[in-house]
Structure 1
Amino acid sequence: MVAPVAAPAPRADAAPGRGPGTRPWLAWLVVVPFLVYVGVFLVYPTGVVLAGAFQDADGAFTLENLAALGEGVHRQAFLRSVELSAWTALLGAVFGALLSWAVSVGRPDGLPRRVVVAGSGVLAQFGGVPLAFAFLATVGFQGFVTRLLKDVFGLDLFAGGAWLFEMPGLVLVYTFFQVPLMVIVFLPALDGLRPQWREAVDGLGGTAWTYWRHVGGPVLLPAFLGALLLLFANAFSAYATAAALVSQGSPIVPLQIRGALTGEVLLGQENVGKALGLGMVVVVAVAMSLYALLHRRFARWQ
């Protein structure tokens, strides 16, 4: 018969009540500033936009603001915004993926990788007035490259019109910060490809095409599509760069909102601007929801 083992007596110097759930208010003390920030700068503005989109100038309920989104310049602005976002997202995703692949095949601690990653972190946030000025100083009417090509080679970049201040120019400028963002988002997915998978394919007599067709491609596809949606939402919601570059007209939705809120064209259009903002919120929310679903699927391979 085995004698029962007595449980050790608690230490006299052990501090009582030090369990993980003893002081939950400490955790809330850390979270509260973040919640306040989100509430002031995200939840409250979204509520103002949502309420104003269904009100007229007198504060009465109306659907005319939402109906105006499908008419005339507002509909064209949404179509151009979607077109601009789609083109820049596609170009940024393709070139960013190629750059990410070129970096991933090198040494993990090599200088090229560190330079590209550090530069991407900076350039992905480089927008607004500084980016617009950089392009104006480079390929503007009197830009360095423009004058160099015209004086040395006789080439006029603006022979066909002021393309830099129209949709082609916005595509070029937006792609400048879309490519580094793609590198930041997609490079971890490439790093997640395990060398053992390639070795297994080679051991079974497969080719490089076999590996990318049946292993690498299916694993990277959700991450690529998710990054594509993220780039689309990033371009669709961008404002400062277009506002600094386009001084006349409002070809995209963010500039339409600026015109409605400041009364540049018509007075009393503030609630129409809020309806435009609500439309942008819906589009970005759908894109980010799809991105979250694709990211969850890719996370299984990490």
Structure 2
Amino acid sequence: MTLPASARPATAATAPTRRAQAPAASPATPGKRRGRTPLRAPFRTPAWLAVVPLLAVTALAFGVPALAMLAGAFTVKDPVTGAGSYGLDNLATSLQGAYLTALLGSVELSAVSAGIGVVAGLLLAQAVVTSRSEALRQAVLTASGVLANFGGVPLAFAFVATLGNAGFLTRKLDLADKGWTLYGFTGLTLAYLYFLIPLMVLTITPALEGLRSQWREAALDNGATPAQYWRHVALPVLAPSLLGGFVLLFGSAFAAYATAAAMVGSSVPLVTLQIADALAGNVMVGQENVALALSLDMVLVAGLVMAVYLPLQRRSARWLA
């Protein structure tokens, strides 16, 4: 039985016919695509423009006062005519007599309190890092964040009410009969440690967490004692961070004013108190700018301390990264 042609399956001979009968693609389509206008790349703002506001604020907040301080420190006023001229008399005066004593007293107080704060803060931070109690860790870090910002007149009042001549602990423990006095170098150092130790805990905790457990395990496996591990491995790696913490604590104690002014007054010679007296007019005629010279001395001392810290910071970055 022969099937009609319409019912026969399509063969290779008939396929081209059907493909030829298919509607052809519109010739205008490719033309439209080729004729489209290419999209332009969006305008990109230079990356350096993002830091312009920060640079502007820095220039206003730090640059202008620094320039004013430099100009005033080198400006010498004639005590008779009041005319000003540039010279080194203010700097020479700031390094003599009571001003030099105050500068050395501030350096000594800052160095002693910062050294004690570094050691005590390191021990406390190590105890926190190795503790298994997460609640204790959070409590210590939170308290450190609060106490590190607790200073000034409230701190001085708290110490006077607790360890002053008529303080609570002074009367309870009969400290006055044992020669204790809060209004001296030792008492001021103790007050500074109240906010310096918490500040050191916040500073050194990330560095302690960066110490890898593999280093300790390798040292112990090779027969090293815990003391040798700390001496030869941990402390060399932490040395830049410890020095950085010392610099931070030194700067905080060196620049502190309100606590010392409210607690000890002029019984402890400090450069910040001398600057306050000079700004208040308690100086000889013609020495009005000695306060600015003392401020420049403080900047130079802080710069010398930072010059020791920066090279070591780059060294520790390779190990703690």
1:261 equivalenced with 2:279 (yes/no): yes
1:112 equivalenced with 2:136 (yes/no): yes
Q: CA deviation at 1:18?
A: 4.1
Unaligned runs of at least 5 residues, structure 2: 1-32, 78-82
Cα distance change of structure 1 residues 223 and 175 upon mapping to structure 2, 3 Å threshold: same
CA distance in 2, matches of 1:260, 1:80: 17
CA distance in 2, matches of 1:250, 1:271: 23
Cα distance change of structure 1 residues 16 and 196 upon mapping to structure 2, 3 Å threshold: farther
Q: TM-score, normalised by structure 2?
A: 0.80
Task: Please say which structure displays the higher CA radius of gyration.
Answer: 2
Unaligned runs of at least 5 residues, structure 1: 1-8, 150-154
Amino acid of the structure 1 residue aligned with 2:110: S
CA distance in 2, matches of 1:282, 1:113: 38
2:191 alignment partner, one of 173, 181, 184: 173
1:50 equivalenced with 2:74 (yes/no): no
Cα distance change of structure 1 residues 205 and 248 upon mapping to structure 2, 3 Å threshold: closer
- 1:76-225 to structure 2, matched below 5 A, reads 76-107=101-132, 110-149=134-173, 155-157=174-176, 160=179, 163-225=181-243
SS of the residue aligned with 1:300?
Answer: helix
SS of the residue aligned with 1:56?
Answer: strand
Aligned 8 A contact 1:137 1:143 in 2: yes
Amino acid of the structure 2 residue aligned with 1:146: T
Amino acid of the structure 1 residue aligned with 2:107: V
Aligned 8 A contact 2:184 2:268 in 1: no
Aligned 8 A contact 1:259 1:265 in 2: yes
SS of the residue aligned with 1:202?
Answer: helix
Deviation digits for residues 79-131 of structure 1, max 9, x if unmatched?
Answer: 11111011101110111111011111113x70111111111111111111111
1:237 equivalenced with 2:277 (yes/no): no
CA distance in 2, matches of 1:147, 1:33: 55
Q: Percent identity?
A: 48
Q: CA deviation at 1:50?
A: 0.8
Aligned 8 A contact 2:184 2:267 in 1: no
Aligned 8 A contact 1:229 1:290 in 2: no
Q: CA deviation at 1:75?
A: 1.0
CA distance in 2, matches of 1:68, 1:130: 34
Cα distance change of structure 1 residues 196 and 70 upon mapping to structure 2, 3 Å threshold: same
Deviation digits for residues 12-67 of structure 1, max 9, x if unmatched?
Answer: 9x974347xx1137x63x54443333222211111111111111122201211111
SS of the residue aligned with 2:76?
Answer: coil
Cα distance change of structure 1 residues 18 and 85 upon mapping to structure 2, 3 Å threshold: same
Q: CA deviation at 1:216?
A: 1.5
SS of the residue aligned with 2:182?
Answer: helix
Q: CA deviation at 1:179?
A: 0.5
Aligned 8 A contact 2:115 2:246 in 1: yes
2:97 alignment partner, one of 67, 72, 80: 72
Q: CA deviation at 1:268?
A: 4.3
Q: CA deviation at 1:156?
A: 3.8
Amino acid of the structure 1 residue aligned with 2:198: P
SS of the residue aligned with 1:270?
Answer: coil
1:271 equivalenced with 2:289 (yes/no): yes
